[in-house]
């Protein structure tokens, strides 16, 4: 019988707390068991294995990031929407570098993860459609936008920018670079 109060959601909460504290490498079933006060075998009543738990963490991060980006872009369009999206994305990674690092970047066959990934992608696509993009041009723009934001935020979270220039200025210039390129985006 599962421990009173422990649920699959509680197991994911513990897993997320672990990656927040120690990064993705710290996530083990033993660490979750310790954090929840149960024996490791008791976790199997809530999750099948570590791979499923990692998938559930990915799902949580996708949902949180989608919520943040949605809130940032609703009612905005064009340059304003891109600015807000990029700032909200950076803010999420700065607030939760461990859990963002635990986000599985590769395509996942799990229909829940695919659906959550699609909801996140739909936000990017909606913002980019404000530039009149469609078809292949839209997909290429989404890939470039995601790469720019992901690359900067991951490097920043890892302390990868060691030069003395102000990071906020660099990020403002990245946003300006992205916005400028969208105004001149080639049609396919």
Same-domain pairing of 26 and 69: no
Question: Is residue 96 one of the residues assigned to a domain?
Answer: yes
Six token digits for residue 141: 């723009």
Model confidence at 84: pLDDT above 70: yes
User: SS3 letters for 39-105?
Assistant: CHHHHHHCCCCHHHHHHHHHHHHHHHHHHHHHHHHCCCCHHHHHHHHHHHHHHHHHHCHHHHHCCCC
User: Which CATH number goes with the domain that contains 21?
Assistant: 1.10.10.60
Q: With 80 as the cut, is the pLDDT of residue 3 above it?
A: no
* Residue ranges in 130-188 assigned as alpha helix (H): 135-157, 167-183
188 lies in some domain: no
CA pair distance 13, 122, nearest whole angstrom: 26
Q: Is the pLDDT of residue 1 over 60?
A: no
152 in the same domain as 85: yes
Q: Are residues 14 and 41 in the same domain?
A: yes
If asked whether residues 97 and 157 sit together in one domain, one would say yes
Regarding whether 72 and 128 lie in a shared domain, the answer is yes
Say whether pLDDT at 2 is over 80: no
* Residue 147 is assigned to a structural domain of this protein: yes
Does 111 reside within a domain?
A: yes
Dist. CA 134–CA 137, nearest whole Å: 6
Of the candidate ranges 46-55, 71-80, 97-106, the one whose mean pLDDT is the lowest: 97-106
Asked if 144 contacts 91 with a C-beta cutoff of 8 angstroms, the reply is no
Structural domain contains residue 178: yes
pLDDT of residue 105: 78
Closest CA to 103 of 163, 182, 19: 19
Are 62 and 81 part of one and the same domain?
yes
Count of domains for the chain: 2
Name the pLDDT band for 106 (thresholds 50, 70, 90): confident
Same domain, 31 and 110: no
Pair 62, 41 in one domain: no
Looking at the structure, do residues 41 and 107 belong to the same domain, yes or no?
no
- Structural domain harbouring 21: 1-47
Instruction: Tell me whether residue 106 is in a domain.
Output: yes
CATH number, residue 144:
1.10.357.10
- Please provide the average confidence, as pLDDT, over all residues in the chain: 94
Any idea which of 47-56, 58-67, 104-113 has the lowest mean pLDDT?
Answer: 104-113
pLDDT band at residue 16 using 50, 70 and 90 as cut-offs = very high
Same domain, 68 and 154: yes
Reported as a pLDDT band with limits 50, 70 and 90, residue 108 is: confident
Looking at the predicted structure, is the pLDDT value of residue 18 above 80? yes
For residue 38, what is the DSSP state?
Answer: S
Does residue 137 sit within a domain? Answer: yes
Say if residue 40 is in the same domain as residue 118. Answer: no
Residue 66 within any structural domain of the chain: yes
Judge if 125 and 105 occupy the same domain.
Answer: yes
Specify the range with the lowest mean pLDDT, choosing from 28-42, 105-119, 164-178: 105-119
């Amino acid at each position: 019988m599962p421990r009173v109060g422990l649920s699959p959601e509680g197991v994911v909460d513990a897993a997320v707390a672990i990656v927040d504290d120690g990064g993705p490498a710290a996530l083990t079933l033993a660490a979750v068991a310790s954090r929840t006060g149960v024996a490791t075998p008791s976790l199997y009543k809530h999750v099948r294995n570590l791979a499923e738990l990692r998938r559930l963490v990915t799902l949580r991060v996708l949902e949180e990031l989608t919520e943040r980006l949605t809130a940032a872009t609703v009612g905005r369009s064009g340059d304003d929407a891109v600015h807000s999206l990029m700032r909200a994305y950076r803010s999420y990674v700065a607030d939760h570098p461990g859990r963002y690092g635990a986000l599985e970047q590769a395509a996942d066959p799990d229909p829940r993860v695919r659906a959550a990934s699609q909801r996140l992608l739909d936000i990017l696509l909606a913002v980019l459609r404000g530039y009149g993009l469609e078809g292949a041009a839209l997909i290429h723009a989404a890939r470039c936008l995601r790469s720019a934001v992901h690359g900067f935020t991951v490097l920043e979270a890892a302390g990868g920018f060691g030069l003395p220039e102000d990071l906020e200025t660099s990020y403002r210039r990245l946003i300006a670079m992205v916005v400028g390129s969208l105004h001149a985006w080639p049609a396919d």
